[in-house]
Structure 1
Amino acid sequence: MTNLNTIDPAAVTGGANIEINDVVIAKSSIIIRRFLRNRTAVVGLAVFLALTMFSFLGGLFTSWDKETIDPFNIGMPPSSEHLLGTSQAGIDLYALTVEGTRISILIGLVVGLISVLIAAVYGCTMAYFGGKVDTVMLFILEALIMMPALLVVAVATSGGGNGLQQSLPSWLLLIIVLLVFSWMGTARLIRSLSMSLMTRDFVKAAQYMGIPPRRIVWRHLVPNIGSLLVLDITRGITGAILAEVAFSFIGIGIKVPDVSLGVLIGQATSQVSTFPWMFWVPLTVMFLLTGSLAMMNDGLRDAFDPSSSSVGRAKRGGPEKSEPGKTHEPAGKKTP
């Protein structure tokens, strides 16, 4: 029988299950409990889920959309008819914010998830095969890192209406370009961690048993760097959202008629003193979005780190609870 306060931290990271008071608790359950004890992380998760629901369901609470113009309310502040006001073209800002938030979250989720998946496969493959395969793949990785991402984004999204610009929406084209440049740093880190895992006995045993490389990578390497991958997903989502806002702000990201938070902020920057609601509404949504992801990332980091005490300790129950410096003795016996 194992007491909760005497668990070896290495057991939490190395084993799949932990036995506490004769009850086997899965490692995933321990991580979830530690995450939920972090109030800041829970608040961040609640804010992110609320913004996600707002982006997909917020259009149901208004009769306006991003294309309908109200000629009688052009550049008007928030009112009962337009909850967040209207733009200079007379378009409801609430509808624009819903659409822009959805596009920004969609870009963040797709880029954050797929880039980490690409990095995991690429980095683990380099570490597993090594030798010439590792040399060639590392050369390709370093070449991609040296490419000027800003220039590539500008050329891909501002081609004068030719090629891909005519067949793909600007937000989808931006996702493709961001995917090309967002996985390389993570892949290098995963390669280093996977190379250390290749020296472990369980990996060598799997190789001696003739298990295919694909199964070794997916069953032994990837799960052992799962905590890093989860943290990189939240960081990747945040980075993709900030990249979209930055590129759209300078005019090389999302293009009109597509809408995003970066487009709304960029359009209102020059007139922030005249139409402040057009600037502060999307900027506030962006801060809430990136701030909630940062709080979630901190909570996940502490949840995966068994040595962290920022989320507190589990309470001990029962009559065996004691104070520091005091000992319990059987009833009926006295210390001379």
Structure 2
Amino acid sequence: MLDEIPVADPAAGNPEVIQSPKPVSRFRLVLSRLRSTPRFWVGIIGLGTIVLWAIFGLAPNAWNASDLDTFNMGSSPTALHWFGTSDIGEDIYAQTIVGLRKSLIIGLLVGPLAAIIAGVVGAVAGYVGGWWDKAIVWVIDLLLVLPSLFLFILLSPIFKSLSWVALIFLLAGFGWMIMARVIRAQTKSLRERDFIKAARFMGVDTWTIIRRHVLPNVSSLLIIDATLGVGGAILSETTLSFFGFGIQAPDVSLGTLLASGQSAAATRPWLFVFPAAILVFTVLSASLVGDALRDAVDPTSGVNRE
């Protein structure tokens, strides 16, 4: 609602009402920027379509991922098998949906989990300071220098005996360092603000200040990081599974489908093209949403940067 300020009008002899707008909240400002950003709508519609297809896509299909059609082994796409079949008669459409589900679950869990780790670690390093800060920065620098793919390869024998859920924690454990540095720098700036000093003066303990004052003020950065991290996590899982260090048989993911189909990409392209197209579309949609959200939250960005 708008404030009404009466102002006398000498000509009319009656006061007029001038309406002064109240300040727009940050949430509404971000929402307004997102609404006027075409790539946000392209990304959110694409990502929503992919998620709905992963949930309900098997309903109209007559085949499950484990079914074998021995009469149509290695067949091209037909009305019976929409994406064709593998060398042993597996329905590629059903396997693509099951693999997409696994990759989406990993991406949607790894992105937020890595953002949470980055937020907590960065806030503690920036606010507490001292030897805590030095130790955390040393760990961050060490993990940034180490080649993560090489470490995944070294640790893969251990994780092969575990559930694919262990891959979620492994990917999240190597995906938080850069954002933690950003949160640390923001926290160092926030700790000198008046409301933080007032909380310290009133005797509020460190963890309460971090939870109630620091993390809410950097939450926009964490939301952006989590959104962008979804696409990155899906791509990382696919890469590891493609080289045999991620999802292991009998589980199926987009990476395992690409690995099994890449040798026949030229002779039977349906084994490779359909999973690859779904992967590109999913990662691109998630990246568009994250990119639009970053520009909307960034105070230096315009309403529309197209």
**Normalized against structure 2, the TM-score is what?**
0.88
Return the match for 2:202 from 206, 209, 214: 209
Contact 2:110 2:233 in 1 (8 A): yes
2:46 paired residue number = 47
Return the match for 2:160 from 158, 162, 165: 165
5+ long unaligned stretches in structure 1: 3-19, 313-336
Give the aligned residue type for 2:204: I
Residues in 1 aligned to 2:170 and 2:21: alpha-carbon distance in whole angstroms: 52
CA 1:284–1:68: 2 relative to 1, 3 Å: same
Give the aligned residue type for 1:76: S
Residues in 2 aligned to 1:150 and 1:250: alpha-carbon distance in whole angstroms: 11
Return the match for 1:290 from 283, 292, 295: 283
Residues in 2 aligned to 1:73 and 1:257: alpha-carbon distance in whole angstroms: 21
Contact 1:114 1:179 in 2 (8 A): yes
Residues in 2 aligned to 1:310 and 1:206: alpha-carbon distance in whole angstroms: 35
Residues in 1 aligned to 2:20 and 2:36: alpha-carbon distance in whole angstroms: 21
Name the stretch that deviates more: 274-283 or 247-256. 247-256
Contact 1:69 1:91 in 2 (8 A): yes
1:213-249 CA deviation, whole Å, 9 max, x = no partner?
2221122211222221122112211211111111111
1:222 paired residue number = 215
Contact 2:84 2:91 in 1 (8 A): yes
1:265-297 CA deviation, whole Å, 9 max, x = no partner?
111111111110111101111111111112112
Shift of 1:210: 1.1
1:127-186 CA deviation, whole Å, 9 max, x = no partner?
111112222222333333344422332233335xxxx534x32x3122121122111221
* Cα RMSD after superposing both structures: 2.0
Q: Secondary structure at the match of 1:64?
A: coil
CA 1:142–1:306: 2 relative to 1, 3 Å: closer
2:297 paired residue number = 304
Contact 2:33 2:303 in 1 (8 A): no
How many corresponding residue pairs? 289
Contact 2:72 2:89 in 1 (8 A): yes
Shift of 1:78: 1.0
1:284-334 CA deviation, whole Å, 9 max, x = no partner?
11111111112112211221134433528xxxxxxxxxxxxxxxxxxxxxx
Give the aligned residue type for 2:55: F
2:258 paired residue number = 265
Contact 1:127 1:195 in 2 (8 A): yes
Shift of 1:23: 5.3
2:106 paired residue number = 107
Return the match for 2:168 from 168, 171, 175: 175
Contact 1:157 1:173 in 2 (8 A): no
1:332 paired residue number = none
Give the aligned residue type for 1:182: G
2:115 paired residue number = 116
Residues in 2 aligned to 1:309 and 1:264: alpha-carbon distance in whole angstroms: 41
1:65 paired residue number = 64
5+ long unaligned stretches in structure 2: 4-18
Contact 1:145 1:184 in 2 (8 A): yes
Contact 2:30 2:296 in 1 (8 A): yes
Contact 1:153 1:174 in 2 (8 A): no
Q: Do residues 242 (structure 1) and 235 (structure 2) align?
A: yes
Shift of 1:25: 4.4
Q: Percent identity?
A: 36
Q: Secondary structure at the match of 1:59?
A: coil
CA 1:62–1:300: 2 relative to 1, 3 Å: same
**Normalized against structure 1, the TM-score is what?**
0.81
